[in-house]
Structure 1
């Protein structure tokens, strides 16, 4: 982890929400199903984004049927973050997305295999940053004077490169 998948999904979520003419609803769900999938929490997020009432007395299965029906009437994008293992979308209330209706599912996982198991036909890998991209990102977080000093002071440049190397091309610090 740490290559920026969550940040990318959050940015995409914000941009899609702002551009409302393309989709009726955009739903971002942090799955984080390392041990057990929290279906109820996911259903609450979907119901909330759709503006639907929440009924505690309904079973997970009843809610999933209700949510699937509601989503089928909409052009939607569902962004699933931090998917650790395969699960059935229908169990949560997400219909199988169809490009015929302009519906999309985007998921982020550390495992390419999970993406394939979830039906992703073209999984994309997010590579680590190269040295130039890492230095550019590092400098963007510095004050202008410090960033400029990296160009003129060999000790500063060496220290900056040591920090960048210790991060291993990941945008997050170790």
Structure 2
């Protein structure tokens, strides 16, 4: 009895397998021939879907590139595969059209069989690709923030930076203070246009060369500070985005991100009044983070006291000989230059009152000009506003 039951079950199993092996392939063969039009229509429909999916992916890639993001390798590989498959699809589509025109009234069954089989096979391939593209549509799957696109202090370097005795002292004092473990906040102060911004940029670059810091960030504060903008400027140097899916990250999140930086120098340029770095921006320093140091520039000495800076370095105007050296370098003047032009240059330099920015701006504009151009510039030059 049991033997008979097993024999029956085995027979049913074998029968099912034989049906799968024999009947289903036969059904597919018939479908290739007699389902030709349906297979071709489905193929064309899927091809259009892939074309649109590829276009969407291309737009996402272009958008990521406009944001200076790197593109994931698998995304580029997918786009390349999609382009090749669509090219192959076009060839197959042309073959199908040719077959339908030539054998519309008397079909070539052999051709139809082959073309229908290709159409069905490619329809499956296209379906798989369309499923994959859905994954690339998720946020962050196409591009990534490339480290090479993040701002660095080196980008702000002034190739024409010249060290004079008046600025070298402040430069050296700042570097020395940055090496002091007991100093966390340093200030450079001086009247507007004496070159404070240029000097702290060079300090930032030099401090990295000395391996004092792993990262150097810089943000402009200005007379009416926008603290969110300041946070954004600093965050860029950290490869950190203050914006997220919920809107904007909190001050605490920037604080925590900065605490993870082992050694970092943050430069706040053009500070006009006291700011609470912890509460208003989210900067941990001193006892909160000994690896974070602050360097600020200001035109107001009282700001240094209000911010409780532990070291304050003044930066004055250039001495007469320094001003002339800088002006001649930027204007391209030397001993063989026209004497009448050098006479006018002396008057122009005097009007600049030792302010590096005024000197560089005028000298660069006058480089290569005729004597008449120099005289006209002198007549139109006013003494720089000191405010």
Q: TM-score range by the shorter chain?
A: 0.7 to 0.9
- Residue 54 of structure 1 is matched in structure 2 by 242
- Residue 65 of structure 1 is matched in structure 2 by 252
- Identify which of 354, 357, 361 aligns with 1:169: 354
Q: Which runs of 4+ in 1 moved over 4 A?
A: none
Rg larger in structure: 2
Q: 1:20 to 1:50 in 2, by over 3 A?
A: farther
Q: Provide the rounded CA distance (Å) in 1 between the counterparts of 2:302 and 2:312.
A: 9
- Identify which of 275, 290, 295 aligns with 1:106: 295
The correspondence of residues 1-174 of structure 1 with structure 2, limited to 5 A, is 1-17=192-208, 19=209, 21-32=211-222, 34-35=223-224, 37-55=225-243, 57=246, 63-74=250-261, 75-90=263-278, 91-97=280-286, 101-143=290-332, 146-149=333-336, 153=339, 155-173=340-358, 174=384
User: SS state of the match for residue 212, structure 2?
Assistant: coil
- 1:98-153 superposed Cα distances (whole Å, 9 cap, x missing partner): 6x83431100010011122112122111110010000110111132xx32246x83
Length, aligned pairs only: 164
Shift of 1:20: 8.0
Contact preservation (8 Å) 1:43, 1:63: no
Shift of 1:58: 5.7
Structure number having the greater helix percentage? 2
Q: 1:172 to 1:22 in 2, by over 3 A?
A: closer
What 5-or-longer segments of structure 2 have no aligned partner?
1-191, 359-383
Q: Provide the rounded CA distance (Å) in 2 between the counterparts of 1:31 and 1:114.
A: 13
User: SS state of the match for residue 147, structure 1?
Assistant: coil
Contact preservation (8 Å) 2:231, 2:242: no
- Pairwise CA RMSD: 2.3
* TM-score for the superposition, normalised by structure 1: 0.82
Shift of 1:49: 1.6
Shift of 1:72: 2.1
Contact preservation (8 Å) 2:232, 2:241: no
Shift of 1:8: 1.3
- 1:145-173 superposed Cα distances (whole Å, 9 cap, x missing partner): x32246x83x4443222111100110122
Contact preservation (8 Å) 1:149, 1:156: no
User: SS state of the match for residue 295, structure 2?
Assistant: strand
